Structure 1
Amino acid sequence: MKRGFVIAVALLVVPAAAFGAQEFEKVGTVGAQFLKIGIGARAVGMGSAFVSVADDASSVYWNPAGVARITRSVININHCDWVHDTAFSQAAYVFDPRYLPGMLALHVRSLYMPEQLVRTIYKPDGTPGYTFDNGDVAAGLTFARSLTDKFSAGITANYLHSSLADVTSSAYSFDFGTLYDTGFQSLRIGMAIQNIGNEMRFLERSSKLPTLFRVGMSMRVYESGQLRVLTAADFSHPPDNSERANVGAEVGYKDFLYFRGGSGFGYDAEGLSLGLGFKVPTSLNSEATIDYAYSDMSYLGAIHRLSIDFRF
């Protein structure tokens, strides 16, 4: 079992290193960078290696096919103080529509900053009474369905809106994903294509969306009584940088306490991530999960994420 997983990880990581050696750099050639920010303290705590795990509400970001694996209604809330005095928040509601053979999810995420004073060369410290704000918002609808007992697929439609002072831009995008249980031990393969859509236009300039392809594998390498160990590896191809790899693990104790860790390779700033989670019952038919993640962003500082899930 362990040998099989090592081979699977190698198949993901080795191509990443090979492509990375080509130094295919196109930094700054796409817009809507907020779409790259990872969602969910659990996923980020596992080093953002989540495209094949995708079994909670954060699947709306990592792999929409994972929404089909959710068996109860879920309300999910995420927040983190992002870099340079910005804040990133996300909320999702996953539910069974009953009139459709699958699961639906409504979700919204935003990157924003507080109002800033207008600065000029004459008043570099700010002009009293003159302020501006800026932010980005993505609102989406996800539909996912299990087509067999081993294979599920999902699609997300997003409306995007960005603003800077009195200048705004809007666009639409789509995400597609699949999940496949191989039948070999607990090995699962996930794939997703994100941010396929039209360009965002500010004044006379337009920029493409950061269309991203992800593929990954995950497996429970140990499971005995009260202890479970889940490992995962992802490989991604961004449009504006070299290929990247992510690896991570989650150790669960008594289905109550979770320890997580992981790392990204090929990133300019993102590196080590650590996480912690608690699951507690709130009633006979509902439970809550609280997750925390720490991410080392190198020269950008540390990022702390908090997520709360309510399942009912």
Structure 2
Amino acid sequence: MKKITVVGLAILLTLSVCELAFAQAKTGTAGGQFLEIGVSARAVGMGEAFIANCDDASAVYYNPALIATLPQAQVMLTHIDYPADINYEFAALTLPVPQLLGALGFGFYYLSTGDMPLTDYTYPRGSGQTFTARDVAASVSYAASLTNRFSVGITVKYIGEFLEEEKAVGWGADVGTLYETGFRNFKICMMIANFGSDKKFIEESYPLPMDFKFGMAIDAVSNSSHRVVLAVQGSHPNDNLEKYNTGMEYWYNDMVALRIGNRFEDDAGGGFTAGAGAKIPLSGVTLRADYGYHDFGWLKEVHRFSLGFSF
């Protein structure tokens, strides 16, 4: 009865969060939008309903509290091809550190636009020169399990945006929590992402894209050969509509995975997602390869590729 009550309360909380998706729209006033780009092909395949289902190095981005639950060191590398010759790279490392009674994580984020023609009032069609725009972030995370079911994590990050000769730099932070119910690997998580002081670009100041997130994941099926994970997530950003994501992941023999999801957002970035992945045991190392597909509406689809290692 107690387990049923926990599940029922969790479902009611999730439905409350999902209802926020139809709340009023807010003007997009925050900068640092690259901080909202999903960094894991696996997560994107599940509609980015990943705050409670992350068990790899991408936890430095999705929920730092989950770093405390990773028993081995983890490495992840991700490449994303966006339209208009925009590329995004992500790298992360997590490792348990018993001496610190927890675990550490490190992340690096880099977005570049490639060369763009430089125009001005004198040369509206281009001067023959080019420039690039770059966004960079570097983060350090710490997480600890306060009890056998509750963990907390924090990430501190340096953020820089560079356009031609101008730049805006600053600091931000994420705080995440994890509660493990002990029933079918059912997890409940909350997180506040990207809170910090405003950044100034030339003469204008703007806030970071702060976001409050709540999510859950559960093993709907779990046996020696098959595992099905269901996940749901809602978020309340400071610069856009409330939104929610849903995802499902199927594992066969804990070696091959298929994923499907949806991002319910009222913009071109919402929509259907899918993906696949595989784990390959090597001598002392487990290699993980993942692919994620995201239907970007009126823009072309976006493909993500991630490689991970645990050792």
TM-score of the superposed pair, with normalisation by structure 1: 0.93
- Give SS of 1:258's match: strand
CA distance in 2 between partners of 1:136 and 1:92 (Å) = 17
- Whether the 8 Å CA contact 2:209–2:238 is kept in 1: the answer is yes
CA distance in 1 between partners of 2:14 and 2:146 (Å) = 26
Q: Which residue number in structure 1 is paired with residue 298 of structure 2?
A: 299
Matched residue type, 1:278: A
Percent sequence identity over matched residues? 37
Q: Which residue number in structure 1 is paired with residue 107 of structure 2?
A: 107
1:117-128 equivalence runs, <5 A: 117-120=117-120, 123-128=123-128
Q: Which residue number in structure 1 is paired with residue 189 of structure 2?
A: 190
Q: Which deviations, in whole Å up to 9, do the C-alpha atoms of 1:84-115 show, x marking residues without a partner?
A: 32111100111233431111111100111112
Q: Which residue number in structure 2 is paired with residue 12 of structure 1?
A: 14
- Give SS of 1:99's match: helix
Q: Which residue number in structure 1 is paired with residue 210 of structure 2?
A: 211
Matched residue type, 1:136: D
Shift of 1:303: 0.5
CA distance in 1 between partners of 2:158 and 2:75 (Å) = 20
Q: CA RMSD in A?
A: 1.9
CA distance in 2 between partners of 1:6 and 1:147 (Å) = 25
Shift of 1:266: 2.8
Matched residue type, 1:164: L
- Give SS of 1:20's match: helix
- Give SS of 1:67's match: helix
Tell whether 2:287 aligns with 1:288.
Answer: yes
1:42-53 equivalence runs, <5 A: 42-53=42-53
Shift of 1:185: 3.2
1:39-118 equivalence runs, <5 A: 39-118=39-118
CA distance in 2 between partners of 1:9 and 1:263 (Å) = 18
Matched residue type, 1:12: T
CA distance in 2 between partners of 1:159 and 1:120 (Å) = 31
Q: 1:63 to 1:85 in 2, by over 3 A?
A: same
Q: 1:10 to 1:134 in 2, by over 3 A?
A: same
Flag structure 1 segments of 5+ consecutive residues without an equivalent. none
- Whether the 8 Å CA contact 2:21–2:244 is kept in 1: the answer is no
- Give SS of 1:35's match: helix
Q: 1:31 to 1:98 in 2, by over 3 A?
A: same
Q: Which deviations, in whole Å up to 9, do the C-alpha atoms of 1:248-295 show, x marking residues without a partner?
A: 010000111000011011341211110100100121x21100000000
How many aligned residue pairs are there? 308
Q: Which residue number in structure 1 is paired with residue 140 of structure 2?
A: 141
Q: Which residue number in structure 2 is paired with residue 22 of structure 1?
A: 23
CA distance in 1 between partners of 2:234 and 2:23 (Å) = 16
Flag structure 2 segments of 5+ consecutive residues without an equivalent. none
Q: 1:7 to 1:294 in 2, by over 3 A?
A: farther
- Whether the 8 Å CA contact 1:2–1:221 is kept in 2: the answer is no
CA distance in 1 between partners of 2:126 and 2:278 (Å) = 45
Shift of 1:127: 2.1
Shift of 1:9: 4.3
